[in-house]
Amino acid sequence: MNTTQLIEILKANDLLRIIDEPLDINLEIPHIAYIEVKKPDSRALLFTHPIDKKNNKKFDMPVLMNIFGSHKAVRLLIGDIDKISQEISGLLKLKPPAGFMDKLKFGKKLFDLKYLTPKRLKTKGKCQEIVKLKDDINLGDIPVLTTWEQDGGPFITTGQVYTTSLDGTMSNVGLYRLQIHDDKTVGLHWQIHKDANHFFHEYKKAKKSMPVSIAIGGDPLYVWCAQAPLPIGIFELLLYGFIKKQNAKLVKSITNDIYVPHDVDVVIEGFVDTSKMKTEGPFGDHTGYYTLQESYPVLDVTAITYQNSPIFTATVVGKPPLEDKYMGYATSKIFLPLLQTTAPDMIDYFMPENGVFHNLILVKLDPKYPNHSQQMMHAFWGVGQMSFVKHAVFVDSFAPSLEDGEAITRWILDRFNPKNMLITSGVLDALDHSSEQFATGGKLGVDATCDKITDDFKPQDDDILYEKLKVKNKQIVACRQFAKETSNPITVLKIDKILTAKDIIDDIKQMNDCFKIVVLIDDKRNNLDYPYMLVWRVVNNIDAQRDIYMIDGVVYIDATNKTNIDGFSRRWPHDVECSKEVLDNLRQRGIVDIEDDFVEEFAL
């Protein structure tokens, strides 16, 4: 499937909105996509006339966004998620055949595996119909988007980054953000835990330049495979062959030895001087916060190749829900059997998108002995990308569906006991901003596999409770209790923070008989009417070792932004927010049709 065929499939399934009005690659196009994917009937967007107002430039290359913007789109573009998961499970459990019928089934499975290995073509690819070299190289000819006002520049967001190990025995494709520094250089944001970064250090140690090729467009499955959590050393395009039942077809880049899919729309080729780094960012990332400026490698571009009529594909990242909601759902389901090889008693797991995936995981298991959940916590925190998970909650097999947010929340709160919390530390995603140290910090595990708690605790009316609280501390400006019918209601306090949250906790702990769980959040940019975004805020903002207090059976959680008054030495990043001027203009022009409540609900 190439991009042109993709557009026809989306059209045929009423999953595409075509926008012919000229729109700016700076903020306008990304803001429209950011809003669209939050709608319940989200569709992909094709912008046929992208422009750059600042540089008075028009592009012939359309921009396609939100390709994976719904569960329906994911099923169309990836396939039957459950079937793929079952096939992986079957492979992992493969045994030598016992009888004739077993041999036939075994032979079929082996036959299907012939599609795994990508096929290297000797001819040029469709992606190389137009070749730009030397003085003809100009990254400014590509409509790369600037998504957020504080972004360090335009970023490629769905670039498939192809690399190989120094000895050529391992290939990798990853999905990393890519900043356009100028017409001929690209910043490569591969984080410390990523395969491409491991390869980079091999080349650096050998004092050699590293070849890199970036592919844009083509079959959307290339992009999904690029973000798949496969073990190091396994080329992600093997997964493409496994799912498609056809080999990925690759062609050699024009100016380096990296192979890329033959049918992508654009390829940016070059070499990395491993002795040089350049400041990259800031960038409004999928956490919903800006990630700060840091030094990363730079690709010196030696060629750009195109199809005759290329289409630029992109995504937008920021506060949930976004396209990664649907991509992440497919990833979690497909890779469940692989995770079960390490955690065999795990029945299911779910990573809510408002938990930013690595910040919150819900796990259903079949506990067989005391502290089985804690054993699983340690197993999770020691396995691949699961090691980045900050908060893990475990329930038993007869709990409600993990995807039923209200039901599973009630179930957990009816069984929550502070004594069943495990607080520890470990590695964190490099994008995490809440901990004192880069890429390491506190983790929380909650065992909710116990029996339902019978408790005669009766929460007070919110207004009455607030009147009592504000007498204790005037920094408390609002109060709301959630899940009041459960054994452990959650009391959320909005505070106009002047002193530390711990000072406020010390003032109100005399009222412990009024609480079970208390969460403190900042007054600004938080709305108590929308718990979906409150969850997003809390799991982003806390380090379990620093921000969770247990006082006489009550759990207090400090989910406020941290500053120097908290002894926090790192810079706390800003929220990702739409430009009010751009958003108002798009609404006035009728390009974006949303109510003010929508803006509030998703903290736009």
In this prediction, residue 48 carries a pLDDT of 98
Is residue 230 predicted with pLDDT exceeding 50?
yes
pLDDT tens across 401-422, in order? 999 999 999 999 999 999 999 9
Mean pLDDT, residues 25-35 taken together? 98
In this prediction, residue 95 carries a pLDDT of 56
In the chain, the amino acid numbered 40 is P
Q: Which domains does the chain have, with CATH numbers?
A: 3-314 (2.30.110.10), 323-447 (3.40.1670.10), 462-566 (3.40.1670.10)
Is residue 264 predicted with pLDDT exceeding 90?
yes
Q: How far apart are CA 122 and CA 144, in angstroms?
A: 31
Q: How far apart are CA 262 and CA 250, in angstroms?
A: 5
Mean pLDDT, residues 268-295 taken together? 94
Mean pLDDT, residues 211-226 taken together? 96
pLDDT tens across 131-188, in order? 999 999 999 999 999 999 999 999 999 999 999 999 999 999 999 999 999 999 999 9
pLDDT tens across 539-580, in order? 999 999 999 999 999 999 999 999 999 999 999 999 999 999
At residue 197 the predicted structure's pLDDT band, cuts being 50, 70 and 90, is: confident
At residue 342 the predicted structure's pLDDT band, cuts being 50, 70 and 90, is: confident
The secondary structure of residue 289, as a DSSP letter, is B
Q: Per-residue DSSP letters for 403-467?
A: T-HHHHHHHHHTT--GGGEEEEEEE--TT--SSSBTTEEEEEEEE--SPPPP----PPPHHHHHH
Dihedral pair phi/psi, residue 511, rounded to 5°: -100, 25
Q: Please say whether the dihedral angle defined by the alpha carbons of residues 558, 560, 562 and 563, taken in this order, is positive or negative.
A: negative
pLDDT tens across 374-405, in order? 888 888 887 777 888 999 999 999 999 999 99
Range list of H helices, 96-147? 100-112
In the chain, the amino acid numbered 247 is N
Mean pLDDT, residues 278-295 taken together? 92
**Residue 22 burial class via C-beta count within 10 angstroms: exposed 0-12, middle 13-18, buried 19 and up:** middle
* Cβ proximity of 268 and 160 under 8 Å: no
Most confident range, picked from 81-95, 366-380, 382-396, 480-494: 480-494
Q: What percent of the chain has pLDDT over 70?
A: 97
Is residue 505 predicted with pLDDT exceeding 80?
yes
Q: In 3-state terms, what secondary structure has residue 205?
A: helix
What tokens appear for 129 in the block? 């119909």
Reading phi first (left if > 0) and then psi (alpha if -120 to 50, else beta), residue 168 is in left
Mean pLDDT of the chain: 92
Q: What percent of the chain has pLDDT over 90?
A: 79
pLDDT tens across 425-450, in order? 998 888 899 999 988 999 999 999 98
pLDDT tens across 100-115, in order? 555 445 455 555 678 8
In this prediction, residue 112 carries a pLDDT of 63
Could you list the beta-strand ranges (E) of 189-248: 210-216
